Amino acid sequence: MKPVLYMAPIQGITNCVYRNVYSRLFEGYDFAVTPFIRNCNVISIRCKVLRDIFVQRNSATFDLIPQILSNSINDFINLSKIMFEMGYSTVNWNLGCPHKKIRRKNRGAGLLSYPETIVKILNDVITTIPNQISLKVRLGNEVNNDLFTLLPMLNDFPVKNIIIHPRTGSQMYSGETDIDAFEECLSLTKHQVVYNGDINAFETFKYLANRFPTINMWMIGRGGVINPFLPEQIKSLAADTEEKTRARFVEFHDELFASYQKELSGPAHIIAKMKEMWSYWSKTFEGGNHVLHSIARTRNLNQYLSLVGKFFNNNPKLLIYTSHGPKLKV
Ligand SMILES: Cc1cc2nc3c(=O)[nH]c(=O)nc-3n(C[C@H](O)[C@H](O)[C@H](O)COP(=O)(O)O)c2cc1C
């Protein structure tokens, strides 16, 4: 069976501009979960916080699942209903955001300390909204066993699937993923599980796929930004030489830059956004760090383009290109 791949939500990176450009140039993802939309006093389908999911702004070919970060039953219901009106039949509930400010307010991963509250919210929300719900969770808030308590309590709910990132909230995004704990989660849930965490190379995917043969759905975050070819590599869709792979990357960079030029106002914002991209791409190329550090000194778009143009013209080594990488399409 071909694996089903989800683009992970990364606030500031996997927004609609990125998703649209990515989808024009690459294959491989089946779904994308959007970066979270916070509950606010949403009263209208035209509300600004929903801009990222406006249907007319989204042209990606993979299915889009908007994500909600909330612990308020009313806000959750209102937001889900508006998303349904927009055409989104599934919403994803963020129970994994690790930021302290959010966890302290018992949202994101903070809610994982309160399984009864999660069940109460789900109970009221699921019976009221027209959409299906998928969940994105971590192992726990501060400890790695909150999920062991929660998962059996969710078994009778009609949840579409549960995306599990096997870290705790306090771990943020670093430290080891706990795949033994992930394995234990599998024995505690009846729901379909999507694995998420540190899939950053074809070999990592292969290792995890061998270790968890019952899992067929995978979510890729930072690894897919650093290596935009990774979904194609996993699905054996890419067959290019390093030179062609680099050329495709340059095209991706140029289209993303052009799209941000249209989307954002003023060179400072565009350069800041490209710098954010290069915080990932610095790991894509040998010498990529030099670009990341030099961007801080660029004052206008021409300087930025000249810096990046010179870098690409020197044919930098692609660190993501290995002999195990792109596979021949069969
Ligand atoms: C900068 C940043 C922003 C993120 N924003 C979100 C978000 O809005 N919603 C969410 O559920 N996860 C968010 N995540 C978590 C990722 O979706 C993913 O769960 C995490 O990075 C682990 O997967 P990976 O190792 O494949 O990146 C974010 C991660 C990072 C690094």
Q: If DSSP states are collapsed to H, E and C, what string results for the chain?
A: CCCEEEECCCCCCCCHHHHHHHHHHCCCCCEEEEEEEECCCCCCCCCHHHHHHCHHHCCCCCEEEEEEECCCHHHHHHHHHHHHHHCCCEEEEEECCCCHHHHHCCCHHHHHHCHHHHHHHHHHHHCCCCCEEEEEEEEECCCCCHHHHHHHHHCCCCEEEEEEEEEECCCCCCCCCCHHHHHHHHHHCCCCEEEECCCCCHHHHHHHHHHCCCCCEEEECHHHHHCCCHHHHHCCCCCCCHHHHHHHHHHHHHHHHHHHHHHCCCHHHHHHHHHHHHHHHCCCECCHHHHHHHHCCCCCHHHHHHHHHHHHHCCCCECCCCCCCCCCCC
Q: Are residues 208 and 279 in the same domain?
A: no
Q: Are residues 176 and 140 in the same domain?
A: yes
pLDDT, averaged across the chain: 94
The first and second tokens of residue 230, run together, are 């990774």
Among 214, 234, 254, give the residue marking a domain's end: 234
For residue 322, name the pLDDT band (cuts at 50, 70, 90): low
pLDDT at 328: 34
Q: Are residues 152 and 262 in the same domain?
A: no
pTM of the complete model beyond 0.85: yes
d(CA 327, CA 166): 29
Ligand 1 pocket residue status of 67, Cβ below 6 Å: yes
Q: Give the domain CATH number at 130.
A: 3.20.20.70
pLDDT tens sequence across 224-248: 999 999 999 999 886 688 999 999 9
pLDDT at 150: 98
Q: Are residues 20 and 124 in the same domain?
A: yes
Residue 327 lies in a domain: no
Q: Are residues 247 and 230 in the same domain?
A: no
Residue 318 lies in a domain: no
Ligand 1 pocket residue status of 196, Cβ below 6 Å: yes
Stretch 103-128: mean pLDDT: 98
pLDDT at 42: 67
Q: Are residues 32 and 133 in the same domain?
A: yes
Ligand 1 pocket residue status of 8, Cβ below 6 Å: yes
Q: Is the pLDDT of residue 256 over 80?
A: yes
Q: Is the pLDDT of residue 329 over 90?
A: no
The first and second tokens of residue 170, run together, are 């306090």
Domain containing 284 equals 242-313
Domain count, the chain: 2
Q: Are residues 221 and 290 in the same domain?
A: no
Q: Are residues 79 and 160 in the same domain?
A: yes
Q: Are residues 116 and 90 in the same domain?
A: yes
Q: Are residues 283 and 182 in the same domain?
A: no
Residue 302 lies in a domain: yes
Residue 194 lies in a domain: yes
Which ligand 1 atom is the nearest neighbour of the CA of 198? 25
Mutate to test the pocket of ligand 1, among 5, 10, 133, 200 (most ligand atoms within 8 A of CB): 10
Q: Are residues 132 and 212 in the same domain?
A: yes
pLDDT at 43: 72
d(CA 170, CA 38): 21
Q: Is the pLDDT of residue 326 over 90?
A: no
Cβ 264 vs Cβ 270: under 8 Å: yes
Q: Are residues 46 and 11 in the same domain?
A: yes
pLDDT tens sequence across 163-222: 999 999 999 999 999 999 999 999 999 999 999 999 999 999 999 999 999 999 999 999
pLDDT tens sequence across 23-79: 999 999 999 999 999 976 667 777 888 999 999 999 999 999 999 999 999 999 999
Residue 320 lies in a domain: no
